[in-house]
Structure 1
């Protein structure tokens, strides 16, 4: 006895993949979120000559800046074709800058790392380098002051360069004042730096008071020469204390710069 079974023509099974393919494609488009193109390949030509930090430093600039920059880099030999320019500029000048920051792992705009990246390293290093040179010059000035004390107080026969002591002593005082002002400017540019700066700033304030006394007393003794005992001693003690504080500033300054540059 023959049993009836439900069967579909073979041709129907042959058409099934073509019928289901559009439905499957629609499902994939709806179910899988669209992914933005990875911007790293577009930025790769920039990284051939420039560091990531430099691009992050300028990532907030507008389209006009990036258009001029890209064209200038192409003129300098950047491997960017004319067809790539609009896309590259649009990416770099994206108002939210999220794509570029994410692709390059740029720090948050409010982070210390971002603030440091916005200030040229040469500007950050200018202050400590100037203060080190000033400290070295102050050693020579101090040595001339010691010779004066040996001559006037101990009656020893030594050579004392009065004019050099006065001239370069004023230079040292002026550079220390300039260093204090420059350090404050850099700090403002960084919108605050590590907590070691509080001690550094406090010592700088004490130094400014001693600089005022040392400079004024030195000029007074240079303009009105006379035999004195107490004022030269006070002048020398204040200036020696200044040098000791400057040495301490060198230590805290190195700590601050190391923290800034390692952030």
Structure 2
């Protein structure tokens, strides 16, 4: 049963879940771009939506991460108490930054690119894999400490 006094601890997972929804839409549009670029599809790339959803996702993930660290420290005085969830979160943070910065650079200086686009796409795919693993470890944290 959920402890009423601990409801504030659910702010972090809710923000992260919203970020994940936006992030996976951005990933799907990025995959569409990849398929268009390699001649597998003859569609229009929804560039503005991809950029907007990517910005929203990375912003939510960063805000959610800050809340997660803050609430964990407030509740248990030690962030690493969540084990693999903490470790994956640190790694995911680096991928959030890398994905955002490469995407922001491409938005700022629009031109045809190969290597930066591929790097951005790989970072985004790996980030979404890490986010999935974060969901798994996050549910474990919730079940261990709150349920």
Q: What TM-score, normalized to structure 2?
A: 0.89
Q: Does 1:253 align with 2:134?
A: no
- Greater helix proportion: 2
1:103-142 to 2 correspondence within 5 Å?
A: 120-142=5-27
Q: Greater CA deviation, 157-166 or 189-198?
A: 189-198
The structural deviation recorded for 1:248 is 0.6
The structural deviation recorded for 1:196 is 6.2
Q: Which of 211, 231, 239 in structure 1 is aligned with 2:124?
A: 239
Q: C-alpha distance in 2, partners of 1:210/1:137?
A: 16
Question: Are the aligned partners of 2:9 and 2:71 in contact in 1 as well (CA < 8 Å)?
Answer: yes
Q: C-alpha distance in 1, partners of 2:25/2:49?
A: 10
Counterpart of 1:148? Answer: 33
For structure 2, the residue ranges without an aligned partner over 5 or more in a row are none
Q: C-alpha distance in 1, partners of 2:83/2:77?
A: 10
Counterpart of 1:186? Answer: 71
What SS class does the counterpart of residue 120 from structure 1 fall into? Answer: helix
Q: C-alpha distance in 1, partners of 2:96/2:79?
A: 26
Q: C-alpha distance in 2, partners of 1:196/1:150?
A: 42
What SS class does the counterpart of residue 97 from structure 2 fall into? Answer: helix
Q: C-alpha distance in 2, partners of 1:216/1:159?
A: 24
Cα deviation digits, residues 79-127 of structure 1 (max 9, x gap): xxxxxxxxxxxxxxxxxxxxxxxxxxxxxxxxxxxxx97x833211121
Q: C-alpha distance in 1, partners of 2:141/2:80?
A: 8
Q: Which has the larger radius of gyration?
A: 1
Q: What TM-score, normalized to structure 1?
A: 0.51
RMSD over equivalenced CA pairs, Å: 2.2
Q: Kindly indicate whether structure 1 or structure 2 has the higher relative contact order, using CA contacts under 8 Å at least 6 residues apart.
A: 2
The structural deviation recorded for 1:208 is 1.3
Q: C-alpha distance in 2, partners of 1:253/1:229?
A: 35
For structure 1, the residue ranges without an aligned partner over 5 or more in a row are 1-115
Cα deviation digits, residues 52-100 of structure 1 (max 9, x gap): xxxxxxxxxxxxxxxxxxxxxxxxxxxxxxxxxxxxxxxxxxxxxxxxx
